[in-house]
Amino acid sequence: MPKQLSAMTKSSVRGSRVGPADHGAARPAGPALGLRIIWELRDDRRLTSRALRTACDEASPTIIQARLSELREAGLVELVPGDGYRLTALGKELAENVLPLHRFAERWSKRLAT
């Protein structure tokens, strides 16, 4: 019988029974991918699911479709037949609110580089 992992070991991630390396492998399937899709559709971009997959570092097509479905249900993204996915007015508002965080991250990364 395999040894069970302790819920809180030194190398575990809080609330998870897997270590940091295993936990990070699941990250692209999580909510961060939804934000990444919104980011890729900013500035009135329209992208097909295939183009979104490429833009999102070759994420699984199944996961991309799942996130797109969730974003469509939430009213943040819509599919324009023959043209691809685009942000709705609500999605654009969200993207505008993420932009200051992106700008901060750029300034922060430059500061770390010096």
pLDDT in tens, 22-47: 434 434 456 788 889 999 999 999 99
- Which has the closest alpha carbon to 85: 72, 98, 70? 72
Q: Is the predicted pLDDT of residue 8 greater than 50, yes or no?
A: no
Other C-beta atoms closer than 10 Å to the C-beta of 71 total: 23
Neighbours of 101 (CB within 10 A): 10
Q: Cα(83)–Cα(24) distance, rounded to whole angstroms?
A: 33
**Per-residue model confidence as pLDDT tens digits over 65-109:** 999 999 999 999 999 999 999 999 999 999 999 888 888 888 888
- Distance CA(37)–CA(87), nearest Å, equals 10
pTM for the structure as a whole: 0.67
